[in-house]
Amino acid sequence: MCGRFEKGLLRPGLEPTELTLAHIQRALKPGTFNHLKRIYFCGNDGDPIIAQDLLPILVYLRTHAPHIRLNIHTNGGARPASWWKELAQVTDLVHFGVDGLEDTNEIYRQGVQWHRLEENLKSFIRAGGNAEVDFLVFAHNEEQVEAARARFAAMGVRQIRFKSTSRFFRFREEKWSSSKPIYDAKGAATGTLRPPIAEPWQSPVRQQYETIIEKHGSLGAYWDKTKIQCRVQQEANLYLSAEGLAFPCCWVAGEWPARSKSAFAGQIDELVKKVGADSLSIHKRSLQEIVDGEFFQKALPEGWESASLIDGKLKVCAKTCGQDFKPFEAQFQKTRAHNPATCST
The DSSP annotation for 204-252 comes to THHHHHHHHHHHHSSHHHHHHHPPB--HHHHHT--EE-TTSBEESSHHH
Quote the radius of gyration of the chain (alpha carbons, Å).
21
pTM flag (> 0.85): yes
DSSP state of 175: E
Residues 6 or more apart in contact with residue 332 via CB below 8 angstroms: 163
Which secondary structure element, helix H or strand E, spans residue 193, and what is its range? Answer: strand 189-193
Q: How do beta strands 180-183 and 189-193 pair?
A: antiparallel
Q: What is the pLDDT along the chain (345 residues), one digit of tens a residue?
A: 888 888 888 888 888 899 999 999 999 999 999 999 999 999 888 999 999 999 999 999 999 999 999 999 999 999 999 999 999 999 999 999 999 999 999 999 999 999 999 999 999 999 999 999 999 999 999 999 999 999 999 999 999 999 988 888 887 778 888 999 999 889 999 999 999 999 888 888 888 888 999 999 998 899 999 999 998 888 899 999 999 999 999 999 988 887 666 767 689 989 999 999 999 999 999 999 999 999 999 999 999 999 999 999 999 999 999 988 877 777 765 555 555 443 322
DSSP state of 82: H
pLDDT tens-digit series, residues 63-87: 999 999 999 999 999 999 999 999 9
pLDDT of residue 342: 35
b/e per residue 165-198 (b: at least 16 CB within 10 A): bbbbbebeeeeeeeebebbeeeeeeeeebebbee
Angle at 21 between CA 15 and CA 25, to 5 degrees: 115
pLDDT of residue 339: 55
Residues 6 or more apart in contact with residue 5 via CB below 8 angstroms: 11, 183
Three-class SS state of 74: strand
